[in-house]
A and B are shown apart, each in its own frame.
Chain A
């Protein structure tokens, strides 16, 4: 039996963790994602750029009390990709 291919953008622990966090919230800032994923700043930054390039997340850079603040939220495309990924994973686990 042939398995549906997994989305390579989401099939990465850190990117999947970020998208799974964003599914449950309206928006989350960089430090929140850092604290909850346990990633390094550099790696998180790279993976956020990958997700943004795929159109899965919106990244808004602002200043909060003179410090840069990066806020991320899931796009409709990102949510759809996540739902599809979960369905495919379920298919793998059910067989």
Chain B
């Protein structure tokens, strides 16, 4: 790869390498599926434990949060090593989700301290990074997932308040798991082309 080039060959090298760099986009479906399954399950377990009068029913949320954080960190480190490249898009998405997580935890602490049910607020907040990620990736199912989080979050505050954990689980299924599965199919397709 060291010989003299004609202008046409130069343009061909530039074009080929820019296409190569574009194809190295990070795979994101793992995070949506992992967090989606953990929190959909957390909502169900929380509802059942609450119905049975168990006072520490809320412990399922931080437990799932810890499992998700460990799973995401291990997977992220492994993917970073395998990929060997960091794009601007990767960095924007990474910091968007880190900032979201910080706000999420602070918001839950404040809401619980004030005696409010955090589920509708969590759904509304979760819609934001989901929608932005969908816009950044130009992936419509995630954009729709973000919109659904907003709609379900808003309605869950007024409809069936005693079932907010179950509604939360349903919101996670339509906002994370279904778009995550579609994203997996999309990203698997990109990998094989």
Contacts and interface: CB of A to CB of B under 8 A. Distances in A.
A36 to B, nearest CB: 5
Nearest to B6: A92
Nearest to A39: B1
B21 A21 contact: yes
Interface stretch (B9-17, B46-54, B155-163, B181-189): B9-17
B20 to A, nearest CB: 5
A92 B2 CA distance: 21
Interface class of chain A by DSSP: helix
Contacts of A58: none
A43 B17 CA distance: 18
A20 interface: yes
27 contacts: A13-B13, A16-B14, A17-B16, A17-B17, A20-B16, A20-B18, A20-B21, A21-B17, A21-B21, A24-B17, A24-B22, A24-B87, A25-B88, A26-B86, A26-B91, A27-B86, A28-B86, A29-B84, A36-B21, A36-B24, A37-B17, A39-B1, A43-B1, A43-B2, A64-B81, A89-B11, A93-B7
